[in-house]
């Protein structure tokens, strides 16, 4: 039961490997590059996304997690694409106030990578979707998404306008979902030609936005084999859909609820993952959008077994943790029993090999953890 974790940080990627999910070894690769996401394709090759305010966005690939080779292509917008001024304002601190003033649209970060139906997908900031059918040797924009009719209403979240979640349906290659902060959640049923907002039942986070968009989705999880059941961590609470996102209902029974900065009361957090064999979902609640750390410093993972009620899991987690867990930094290895992993902004990685019943800190002292992916090897 060997597992490898690819852990993205601002300084490179930690590669955590274990043959028994108890004893771990650590390597640190892609040193110097901010690593924001990774994915493994259906042939076993792992891709890691890097970005740099000086040297832009690129992808590295590895067949053994030791030797990494940069690909010659990466997602890029066309010179004529126009950008979102508010997104430019947010990310311009990385630009020394220069480049973005021209009004163009640039890929300044790959937020997420996804492999499905023989293709690779990249969700990027400024928000957009790109795909590759040749293992990353070339990338094409998904124009139906990138030029969505509602694009002019999209409002950036705290970290900019980023497409951070991509989900697929193993039984239906024409159906996919993409989540954007803070534009909401979208679904295509025609292979990416058209996309419908799927936010009914979720409160918009942006007052001025139309009701169909403006939701600040943080992360969404599904099992591609039972793809229409979706678990969604929103800025305004956790939700569930059983109809592919057509309708959503609040799913917070048992979660810590607090007051957001605007007075709304709900749970708050970023990552949400699903163990496919058990069907259990996992979140890491934070104490509202002002504090953004575990309530009282007690780090806790919450799990729902029945998809209805959440229970806290704290065994082995610290009681003095005052850092966030970011949206991409939690993963499940999909083994049996399921292993769950997450990293926090203080550079610790926690692992459970028993579906969250107990936790072990398997690394500490890493930089802020951007992303965690788990691959059974």
Q: How far is the CB of 69 from another protein (least distance, A)?
A: 8
- Gap between the Cα atoms of 376 and 203, Å rounded: 37
- Taking CB under 8 A as the criterion, the residue among 43, 66, 79, 149 binding another protein is 79
Token pair belonging to 344: 């926090």
Least distance from another protein to the Cβ atom of residue 55, Å: 4
Strand order in the sheet with 217-223: 217-223, 226-234, 237-241, 249-250
- Region of 64-72, 112-120, 223-231, 288-296 interacting with another protein (CB under 8 A): 64-72
Instruction: Please select the residue that binds another protein; options are 39, 58, 113, 120, rule is CB under 8 A.
Output: 58
Return the SS3 of 116.
strand
Selected binder of another protein within 42, 72, 243, 253 (CB under 8 A) = 72
Segment holding 342, helix H or strand E: strand 340-343
Query: Measuring CA to CA, how many Å separate 305 from each of 254, 272, 276, 353?
Result: 12, 14, 12, 16
Could you tell me if 217 and 204 are in contact, meaning their C-beta atoms sit under 8 angstroms apart? no
CA gap 103, 84 in Å, rounded: 8
Strand bridging mode 340-343 / 330-332 = antiparallel
Nearer to another protein, 60 or 145 (CB): 60
Residue 272, token pair as written in the block? 């949400």
Q: Which of 13, 38, 62, 68 binds another protein (CB under 8 A)?
A: 68
Nearer to another protein, 78 or 208 (CB): 78
- Verify binding: residue 52, another protein, rule CB under 8 A: yes
Closest approach of another protein to the CB of residue 346, in Å:
21
Q: Strand pairing of 140-141 and 128-132? A: antiparallel
Q: Which of 337, 373, 219, 353 is nearest to 283 (CA)?
A: 219
Q: Which is nearer to another protein, 137 or 174 (CB)?
A: 137
Q: How far is the CB of 35 from another protein (least distance, A)?
A: 12
Binding test (CB under 8 A) with another protein, winner from 45, 76, 117, 314: 76
In the bound state with another protein, the residue whose beta carbon lies nearer, of 81 and 259, is: 81
CB of 96 to another protein, least distance (A): 6
Q: Binding to another protein by residue 91, rule CB under 8 A?
A: no
Site membership for another protein, residue 98 (CB under 8 A): yes
Among 10, 95, 264, 334, binds another protein (CB under 8 A): 95
By CB atoms closer than 10 A (0-12, 13-18, 19+), residue 134 is exposed
**How far apart are the C-alpha atoms of 341 and 280, rounded to whole Å?**
14
Q: Closer CB to another protein, residue 26 or residue 73?
A: 73
Among residues 43, 55, 152, 261, the one that binds another protein under rule CB under 8 A: 55
Whole-number Å distance between alpha carbons of 142 and 191: 10
Q: Among 1, 24, 61, 71, which residue sits at the site for another protein (rule: CB under 8 A)? A: 71
Binding mask 101-120 for another protein (x = CB under 8 A): -x-xxxx-------------
Site string for another protein, 9-48 (x = CB under 8 A): ---------------------x-xx---------------
Q: Least CB distance from residue 288 to another protein, whole Å?
A: 32
Nearest-angstrom CA–CA distance, 12 and 157: 25
- Bridge partner residues of 82 (DSSP): 104
**55/152 with CB nearer another protein:** 55
Is the separation of the CB atoms in 132 and 141 below 8 Å?
Answer: no
**Interface pick for another protein out of 4, 40, 49, 77 (rule CB under 8 A):** 77
Question: Do residues 161 and 154 make contact, with C-beta atoms less than 8 angstroms apart?
Answer: yes
Smallest separation, CB 104 to another protein (Å): 6
Q: How far apart are CA 40 and CA 19, in angstroms?
A: 19
Task: Return all residues near 184 (Cβ < 8 A) that are at least 6 apart.
Answer: 197, 198, 199, 202, 204, 212, 213, 214, 215, 217
Minimum distance from residue 77 beta carbon to another protein (Å): 5
Residues that bind another protein (CB under 8 A): 30, 32-33, 52-58, 68, 70-74, 76-79, 81, 95-96, 98-99, 102, 104-107
């Amino acid at each position: 039961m060997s597992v490898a974790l690819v852990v993205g940080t601002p300084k490179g990627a930690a590669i955590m490997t274990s043959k028994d999910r108890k004893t771990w070894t650590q390597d640190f690769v892609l040193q110097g590059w901010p690593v924001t996401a990774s994915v493994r394709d259906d042939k076993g090759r792992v891709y890691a996304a890097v970005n740099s305010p000086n040297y832009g966005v690129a992808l590295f690939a590895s067949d053994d997690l030791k030797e990494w080779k940069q690909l010659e292509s990466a997602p890029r917008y066309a010179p004529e694409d126009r950008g979102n001024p508010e997104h430019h304002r947010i990310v311009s601190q990385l630009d020394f106030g220069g480049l973005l003033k021209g009004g163009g649209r640039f890929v300044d970060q790959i937020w997420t990578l996804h492999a499905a139906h023989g293709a690779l997908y990249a969700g990027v900031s400024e928000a957009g979707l790109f795909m590759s059918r040749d293992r990353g040797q070339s990338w094409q924009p998904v124009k139906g998404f990138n030029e969505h009719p509602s694009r002019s209403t999209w409002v950036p979240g705290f970290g900019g306008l980023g497409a951070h979640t991509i989900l697929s349906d193993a039984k239906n290659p024409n159906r996919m979902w993409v989540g954007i902060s803070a534009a909401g959640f979208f679904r295509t049923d025609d292979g990416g030609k058209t996309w419908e907002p799927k936010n009914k039942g979720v409160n918009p986070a942006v007052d001025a936005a139309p009701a169909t968009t403006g939701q600040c989705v943080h992360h969404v999880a599904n099992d591609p084999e039972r793809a229409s059941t979706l678990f969604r961590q929103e800025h305004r609470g956790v939700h569930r859909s059983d109809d592919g996102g057509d309708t959503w209902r609040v799913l917070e029974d048992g979660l810590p609820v607090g007051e957001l900065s605007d007075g709304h009361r709900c749970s708050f957090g970023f990552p949400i993952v699903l163990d496919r064999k058990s069907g259990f979902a996992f979140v890491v609640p934070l104490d509202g959008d002002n504090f953004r750390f575990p309530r009282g410093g007690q780090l806790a993972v919450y799990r729902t077994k029945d998809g209805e009620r959440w229970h806290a899991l704290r065994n082995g987690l610290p009681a003095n943790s005052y850092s966030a867990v970011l949206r991409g930094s939690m993963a499940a290895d999909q083994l049996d029993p399921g292993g769950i992993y997450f990293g926090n902004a203080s550079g610790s990685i926690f692992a459970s090999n028993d579906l969250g019943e107990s936790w072990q800190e398997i690394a500490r002292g890493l930089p802020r953890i951007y992303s965690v992916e788990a691959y059974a090897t």
